[in-house]
Amino acid sequence: MLNIGVLVSGGGTNLQALIDAQNNGILKSGKIVTVVSNKEGVYALERAKNAGINTNVILKRECGSSEAFDVALRDYMQNKNVDIVVLAGFLAILGKQFIDAYRDRIVNIHPSLIPSFCGDGFYGLKVHQAALDYGVKVTGATVHLVNEITDGGKILMQKAVYINEDDTAETLQRRVMEEAEWKILPEAVEKLCSTLK
């Protein structure tokens, strides 16, 4: 079984989907061994603690630079024998040191159908507002590998979600999470773990 490290910055709904998938036997080729946040006091850490998962907080300001933060994250994950890293609402850009250490083993979930509404500056509600402003009828979520280009790595899985006439960014965000993100993230992580075993 591969060791999974999860990086978080917020409420941790995607982390919860992974924990639930692990408990339900959907995620069976990997096990979450640690959850790391780049922000203190986020609810994702509580979710991890409630599930009996080791947690840690690594703050960029305490590291002194982006490079030092990257190295601290990498060293921590390696010390925990992490094989695969999952970004579950992690709002920091990973640098070369980290990406090189976990090349083709870093998974991210993005709340649109890449290549639409992705890249630098597209995260959270901004993605859903952009989809509404553009007038697309279908959006969704994408699980992809992380490389040096923001949202530019190989696509592992996608799921479409239809947009309703009366959708707001908030209602759309919720539906994309429920109908797409929480389903395909655990499935994609399981698939990657089973192929790397």
Average pLDDT, the chain: 96
> Could you tell me the residue ranges of all domains in the chain?
2-196
Is 0.85 surpassed by the pTM of this model?
Answer: yes
What pLDDT is recorded for position 76? 98
**95-108 pLDDT, tens digit each:** 999 999 999 999 99
Q: Identify the band that residue 197 occupies on the pLDDT scale cut at 50, 70 and 90.
A: confident
Catalytic annotation, residues: 110
SS3 annotation, the chain:
CEEEEEEECCCCHHHHHHHHHHHCCCCCCEEEEEEEECCCCCHHHHHHHHCCCEEEECCHHHHCCHHHHHHHHHHHHHHCCCCEEEECCCCCCCCHHHHHHCCCCEEEEECCCCCCCCCCCCCCHHHHHHHHHHCCCEEEEEEEECCCCCCCCCEEEEEEEECCCCCCHHHHHHHHHHHHHHHHHHHHHHHHHHHHC
What pLDDT is recorded for position 85? 98
Superfamily of domain 2-196: Formyl transferase, N-terminal domain (3.40.50.170)
What pLDDT is recorded for position 95? 93
